[in-house]
Structures are given as C-alpha cells and as structure tokens.
Amino acid sequence: MEQLTNLIISDRELASISAVLLKLMNDTNATSAMLLDKSGQVVAVQGTGTRRNATTLGALLAGVFSSSREVAKLLDEKDFRNIFQQGVQENIYTTMVEEQWLLVIIFDKLTHIGLVKVLSKKSSDELGRTLERVRSDTTRTKSSVLNLQFRSSVEDTIDLLFRD
C-alpha cells in the first residue's frame, strides 16, 4: 500500500485522541498512555511519567514494533499486532491502530495485563475512527498550513541552523 506523505492532526482530532488516552489511562490505572505514528513520531501523550523522554521512547518503541513485524514475516505469521514488555516495576503494552499508529500503555504491577488488553482494544477501535477522519481531512488542511511564506521561512532557518 502506498504510504501517505503526511498526516495532519487538527485541534478537534487531538482533543478526541487525548480524551481516549486519558480515559484508557484512568480506567486501567496506568501511569502513561501514548499514541505514536509508526514512523516513531509522538502524536499525543497522557500521564506525567513519560513526557520528558517521549521523543526517544517513541523512536525506540516504534523501532521495536517495526522489527517485530519483520520477525512475524520470517515466521510466515501474518502479523504481530501487540507487544508486551514486562519489567519488575513497569510494563509496556503496545498495540497497532489500523496500519498507521501505535497505542502504548505504560502501567505498573497493580494493573492486570488482561484489563489493559481488553480496554486498549476498545480504545484502539475509537482511535481507528479518528484516524479515518484524519486521513480524509489531511489533503484539505495541508495548503493552509504549509503556505509559501512558511516554506520560505523554514528554508532560512535550515540555512541558519545547519551550518559549519
């Protein structure tokens, strides 16, 4: 499938995503919930524990997920759609939303993995519907953000910052 060139998240959709993450976090008593793009970019974060390291966590978790999908192919398995990483104190459950996003829940030993699995499936379905709206809205919104003036200023900034 041809990948999209970009995804544009509007205020309304981000609010909707954040509400889903917050509800999931509260219902499971998790410490954090994140939505990542499969490229590793952080779409939204809820919870205080991960905010500072969100960018690096996003890159690593997306890398791990992408790598596990390659493992699935080598085993002639259709797909690995979920990953569970278990620590002494903290656990991470990652699940795919459609073919585009990763829903990540970070929780401690007081939360049961079964609850996380069930509720994240529900959240994942809701996020899938948001993704559909984002996909259909992306082309329309792009030109209003990435206008000529913006592009020219970004080029100037690149020249200024990326130099010897």
Give the separation between CA 20 and CA 14, rounded to whole angstroms.
Answer: 10
Residues in the chain: 164
Residue 133 backbone phi and psi in degrees, to 5 = -65, -40
Q: Is 139 in the site for another protein (CB under 8 A)?
A: no
Could you tell me the smallest distance in angstroms from the CB atom of residue 59 to another protein?
5
Output b/e per residue, 131-140; b: 16+ Cβ within 10 A.
beebeebbee
Tokens 């690096």 belong to 56
Q: Is 13 in the site for another protein (CB under 8 A)?
A: yes
Q: Is 72 in the site for another protein (CB under 8 A)?
A: no
The window from 24-32, 85-93, 116-124, 144-152 that contacts another protein (CB under 8 A) reads 144-152
Query: Mask: binding to another protein, 83-122, rule CB under 8 A, as x and -?
Result: ----------------------------------------
Amino acid identity at 16: S
Q: Which two tokens stand for residue 82?
A: 């979920």
| Shorter beta-carbon distance to another protein: residue 13 or 94 | 13
* Strand, helix or coil for residue 119: helix
Site residues for another protein per CB under 8 A: 1-11, 13-15, 37-43, 55-56, 59-60, 62-63, 66-67, 69-70, 74, 141-142, 145-146, 149-151, 153-155, 157-159, 161-164
